[in-house]
Amino acid sequence: MNSTERELLKLIEKNGRLETGTIAKLMGITEDETKQILDKLEKEKVILGYSAIIDWTKGTEEGAVTAMIDVKVTPKRGVGFDKVAERIYRFPEVKAVYLMSGVYDLSVSIEGKTMAEVGRFVSEKLSTIDSVISTTTHFILKKYKHDGLVFSDNDEDKRIVVSP
């Protein structure tokens, strides 16, 4: 990956809504070049999607409950953890699945409307998968920072309006 591509990725990682015109001006390249680079990176699956980071606790109740679930599994011969992980990540309520080192194997993050909904997912869908040995569910009480963004209000400009 070249430095122009990297610069562009850093820009849209911070703000996925930047218009191509703005990106082009910020980087001092043409809008056509910007589009070409974006196309290429999307095709190569370097850019997987564009999403917003939302503080759901502020508005609707949707996705207001997030849990991180530590999952221990027995790896199946030949397919290791990958098949189990796939069975888990196919569920739409699952937001993330990671293979971990340490005392458990998979870390699964899920979002639901209520604790009961998350509880149902764990007891009915996750723990019934036959290679799952055990699960430990941690509910997130409050989000302070997520994907590099701080969930708080006080980022207003503290500078005086005109200074030397």
Partner 1 sequence: MITEPTSKYLSNTVQSIQPSGIRRFFDLASSMENVISLGVGEPDFVTPWNVIEASYHSLEQGYTAYTANAGLFELRKEISRYMKRRFGVSYSAEEEIVVTVGASQAIDIALRAVINPGEEVIVVEPSFVSYAPTVTLAGGVPVPVNTYSEDDFKLQPEQIEAAITDKTKVLMLCSPNNPTGTVLSKGDLERIAEVVEKHDLLVISDEIYAELTYDEPYTSFPAVKNMRDRTILISGFSKAFAMTGWRLGFACGPKPILQAMLKIHQYTMMCAPTMAQHAALEALVNGQKDVVKMKESYRQRRSLVIHALEEMGLSCHVPGGAFYVFPSIEKTGLSSEEFAEQLLMKEQVAVVPGSVFGESGEGHVRCSYATSVQKLEEAMRRIDRFLQTL
Among 9, 12, 18, 94, interactor with partner 1 by CB under 8 A: 18
Query: What is the three-class DSSP state of 122?
Result: helix
User: In the complex, what is the shortest distance from the CB of residue 50 to partner 1, in angstroms, rounded to a whole number?
Assistant: 17
Residue pair 8/15 in contact (Cβ under 8 Å)? The answer is: no
Let me know if 41 is exposed, middle or buried by CB neighbors in 10 A (0-12, 13-18, 19+). middle
For residues 24-53, which are near partner 1 according to CB under 8 A? 25-28
User: In the complex, what is the shortest distance from the CB of residue 46 to partner 1, in angstroms, rounded to a whole number?
Assistant: 20
In the structure encoding, which two tokens stand for residue 41, read together?
């990176």
Binding track, positions 143-162, relative to partner 1; x by CB under 8 A: --------------x-xxxx
Q: Is 164 an interacting residue with respect to partner 1 (CB under 8 A)?
A: yes
User: In the complex, what is the shortest distance from the CB of residue 23 to partner 1, in angstroms, rounded to a whole number?
Assistant: 9
Torsion of CA 78, 82, 83, 85, to 10 degrees: 150
Cα-trace Rg, the chain? 21
Q: Which residues bind partner 1 (CB under 8 A)?
A: 7, 11, 15, 18, 22, 25-28, 157, 159-164
